[in-house]
Amino acid sequence: MSTTPKFRAAQSAIRELPPHGVVGLGSGSTVAEFIRILGEHTVREDLDFLAVPTSYQSYRLAIKHGIPLTDLSRNPSIDIAVDGADEVDQQLNLTKGGGGALLQEKIVASAAKRFIIIVDESKLVDRLATHFFVPVEVIPFACDIVMRKIADMGVVPHLRQAERKVGPVVTDNGNFILDLEFPEPIENPAEVEVALKMVPGVVETGLFVGMADEVHVGTASGVFVLRQ
Ligand code: 5RP
């Protein structure tokens, strides 16, 4: 069995789960570890969860690992959501969307009583937008006008290009992703988030401000937890 930092973070989040309830499944490679471990517990019947996935990735992984699925219409309140992040600042604000799943991830997180982030140490930063661009999901119809308005804010938007498909990435919701290159790390993520969401055509941003309750950080030798 692999004992990578991502695995340690995922295992630590598993220990936070009550024996049964509704769990939100984030997306990404760290969450893939979490889903695999949750599946093992589901098969052993010591955990009994209905899961709300946040992407086709987590939907398919949940099915593969035998985790029963539900949705926000049947279960609008989620007991605990577990997700990864691209960056985590000292106030536990996040950037997410490296895998392009930020919209459903944010909706599921907003419906969760408890939102747990699982990362390795490389994701911890003083300020957001240090190592990663900030993704925003935009409606294709509005893509070019949104790019112009964002450029007017002094931020460089890059339309995310697909790999092994020509043209832009199309999200699970049929939208495009702009990766925003800030001139310097973000001082006030809440202000930036509001400014971005005021642009018509922006569906959601990858800035998750004040949403995470705790962050489980896997390291080469163990795990530690940051709490609000
Ligand atoms: C997907 C996400 C992921 O949670 C984020 O990119 C982290 O992924 P990984 O665990 O693979 O580093 O936000 O949209």
What pLDDT, in 10s, does the model give residues 106-147?
999 999 999 999 999 999 999 999 999 999 999 999 999 999
Residue of the nearest CA to atom 4 in ligand 1? 84
Q: In total, how many domains does the chain have? A: 2
pTM: 0.97
How much is the pLDDT for 1? Answer: 55
Please give the distance, rounded to the nearest whole angstrom, from the Cα atom of residue 31 to the centre of ligand 1.
8
Residue of the nearest CA to atom 1 in ligand 1? 99
Strand partners, 218: 120, 223
Same domain for 164 and 220, yes or no, is: no
Residue 187 has pLDDT above 60, yes or no: yes
- Measured CA to CA, the distance from residue 192 to residue 150 in angstroms comes to 11
Residue 27 has pLDDT above 70, yes or no: yes
Same domain for 140 and 39, yes or no, is: no
Q: Which two tokens stand for residue 159?
A: 């339309």
Residue 215 has pLDDT above 70, yes or no: yes
| Residues framing ligand 1 (Cβ under 6 A) | 26-30, 83-86, 96-102, 105
Same domain for 178 and 140, yes or no, is: yes
Same domain for 72 and 184, yes or no, is: no
Same domain for 119 and 10, yes or no, is: yes
CATH of the domain at 103: 3.40.50.1360
Same domain for 98 and 192, yes or no, is: no
Residue 207 has pLDDT above 70, yes or no: yes
DSSP-derived secondary structure for 48-71: EEEEEESSHHHHHHHHHTT--B--
Same domain for 157 and 173, yes or no, is: yes
Same domain for 104 and 83, yes or no, is: yes
Q: Which domain holds residue 195?
A: 134-204
Residue of the nearest CA to atom 5 in ligand 1? 85
Q: Are 34 and 14 in contact (CB under 8 A)?
A: yes
Same domain for 216 and 200, yes or no, is: no
CATH of the domain at 165: 3.30.70.260
Question: For 93, how many CA atoms within 13 A lie in the half-sphere containing its CB?
Answer: 22
Same domain for 140 and 55, yes or no, is: no
Same domain for 140 and 112, yes or no, is: no
Same domain for 24 and 117, yes or no, is: yes
Residue 56 has pLDDT above 60, yes or no: yes
How much is the pLDDT for 228? Answer: 86
- Measured CA to CA, the distance from residue 110 to residue 200 in angstroms comes to 22
